[in-house]
Chains A and B, each alone.
Chain A
Amino acid sequence: MSSEIKVDTISEKTSAAGVTIDGVLIKDGAIPSIAGSGLVHINTSTFSTASSHSIDNCFSATYTNYKIVINLSAVTGSNIDFLVRLRVSSSDATTNYKTVRQFANGTSITVDTDPTGTDDWTLGFITGTGTDVHSGTIDLFNPFSATTTNGLTSFNGEFGAAHYLIACDWANTNATSYDGITFFPASGTISGTVSVYGYATS
């Protein structure tokens, strides 16, 4: 028996049943057992000259952990704190946020705690220079579970015309199941895009 088959096309014999090779089903140009695994896109939203941007129902029981990617295309003001709150039933939660922030510029690295208090999380500081943009990622753990929500972030910020890498360790110690998130500057407006992804576990 030949150990190799060379053909140009293998097609399904039974309509809509796909083709199975050594237990792996190939169907309609995809491998269904792989689709939906890894990082799964949930939501992308855009906003323009907004005082805040909220996304509801992006966290659910489907995923435990999430990745959020933020791109700010325009901001107003200088050295403005860029802040985050969790949401439940279309309302922002305003208590028990903890932030440990590390920011680096050149060879200088500094750490501080709760730089804007405990009623929100600090993601970074932003400055509207006209040409600069700010971007960041958040890994959020257990937001939908009624237990502490943790986060790890990285963000590129601007303060006093200097560029900073800002990394934060977040916790929200409320025993609350959160289903959404809000981004807002301490003053002024922001424009940009936020994408939310879920980490699939299989």
Chain B
Amino acid sequence: MATLEELKIEATAEIEAAKPQYISVNNEERERTEAEYAQAVTDLTNLKWQKQEYGYKSNRALEYPSIADQLDDIFHNGLDAWKATIQKTKDKYPKP
């Protein structure tokens, strides 16, 4: 697991590599100011932290079968088969 400081270094490198970045304000395009680049680094760092700590929830939710399909799975194949299906997704996106 990366620390917040390590994620900030990653984010800084990504933003640096993506320069120059242009933003649109009131229909006019201009390059980000230094303060806006700093905010972009903060945003990306926070997002990386959020994804690292809690992203498994969203990833699992996106991949689990629908409730209807899970009920169908239980009805036709039993609880053990259903648990095996769910476990695959849990293993793919482990809780940190």
Tell me which residues across on chain B come within 8 A of A49, comparing CB atoms: 22
Taken together as a complex, chains A and B put the C-alpha atoms of A99 and B27 apart, in Å, by 28
A32 interface residue per 8 A CB criterion: no
A130 interface residue per 8 A CB criterion: no
Which of A56, A119, A187 contacts B46 (CB under 8 A)?
A: A119
Residues in A80-122 with C-beta less than 8 Å from chain B: 81, 90, 92, 94, 103, 105-110, 112, 115-117, 119-120
Q: Are A110 and B24 in contact (CB under 8 A)?
A: no
B14 interface residue per 8 A CB criterion: yes
B26 interface residue per 8 A CB criterion: yes
Interface size class of A (residues with CB under 8 A): 20 to 34
A115-156 contact mask (Cβ, 8 Å, vs B): 1 or 0: 111011000000000000000000000000000000000000
What's the count of A-B pairs with C-beta under 8 Å?
74
Interface size of B in residues (CB-CB distance below 8 Å): 30
Q: Are A108 and B64 in contact (CB under 8 A)?
A: yes
A53 interface residue per 8 A CB criterion: yes
Q: Are B47 and A47 in contact (CB under 8 A)?
A: no
Q: Chain A's interface: helix, strand, loop or mixed, by majority?
A: strand
B60: min CB distance to chain A, Å:
9
Instruction: Pull 21 A–B residue pairs with CB atoms less than 8 Å apart, ordered by A.
Output: A45-B27, A46-B27, A54-B23, A54-B24, A54-B25, A55-B26, A56-B25, A56-B26, A81-B47, A107-B69, A108-B67, A110-B64, A112-B58, A115-B50, A116-B47, A116-B50, A117-B46, A117-B47, A119-B43, A186-B44, A187-B14
CB-CB nearest 5 A-B residue pairs = A47-B24, A108-B66, A110-B61, A50-B24, A51-B21
